[in-house]
Chain A
Amino acid sequence: MTRQRGEVVVETRDLCMHFGGVRAVDQVDFTLFDRELRCLIGPNGAGKSTFFKCLTGQLTPTSGDVIIRGQEMTAAEPFEVASLGVGIKTQVPNVFDGLTVEENIWLSARRWHGDSRARSLTAATIERLRLGDIRRTLVGQLAHGQRQWVELGMVVAAEPWLVLLDEPAAGMTHEETYRTVELIEEINKTSALIVVEHDMQFIRMISRTVTLFHEGRILMQDTMEAISADPRAREVYLGHRA
Chain B
Amino acid sequence: MLRQMRPTLVYALLGIVFMFAAPHVLQLFTIINLTTAIALAILALSLALIWGYGGILCFGQVAFFGLGAYVYTISAINIGGSTWAILIAVLLTSAFAAALGYFIFFGRVSDVYLGVITLTVTLIFFSLIRRTSGPEYKIGKALLGGFNGVSSPPINLPWDARTFLFPEQVFYVAMAALILCYVFVGWLVNTKFGRVCVSIRENELRSELLGYDVRLYKLGIFTIGAGIAAVGGVMFCNGVGRITPDVFNLYNAALTIIWVIVGGRGTLIGPIGATFALFYLTSALGGQSVLNNNLVLGVILIVFVLLVPKGVAPTVIDWVNRRRRKRPVRSRRRRRGRAEDAR
Contact = CB atoms under 8 A, between A and B. Distances in A.
A138 B318 CA distance: 14
Given A79-B213, A82-B211, A103-B337, A115 B205 contact: no
Could you say which interface size class chain A belongs to?
Answer: 20 to 34
A216 B311 CA distance: 48
Interface of B: 192, 195-196, 198-199, 201-203, 205-214, 266, 334, 336-338
Given A107-B199, A115-B192, A138-B336, A96 B206 contact: yes
Contacts of B192: 110, 115
Cβ-closest 7 pairs across A and B: A82-B211, A96-B202, A94-B206, A83-B211, A78-B208, A100-B337, A88-B209
Interface string A33-47: 000000000000000
A56 B208 CA distance: 10
Contacts, number: 74
A14 interface: no
Interface of B is mostly: helix
A107 B196 contact: yes
Given A115-B192, A136-B334, A99 B199 contact: yes
Interface string A95-132: 11111101100111011100100000000000000000
A95 B338 contact: no
25 contacts: A56-B209, A77-B208, A79-B212, A79-B213, A82-B209, A82-B210, A94-B206, A96-B198, A97-B202, A97-B203, A98-B201, A98-B202, A100-B336, A100-B337, A103-B195, A103-B337, A107-B207, A107-B210, A110-B192, A110-B195, A111-B210, A112-B211, A115-B192, A137-B336, A154-B206
A103 B336 CA distance: 11
B204 to A, nearest CB: 9
Contacts of A152: none
B209 A90 contact: yes
Contacts of A78: 205, 208-209
Contact of A111 (B202, B205, B212, B337): B212
Nearest to A138: B336
A158 interface: yes
B217 to A, nearest CB: 10
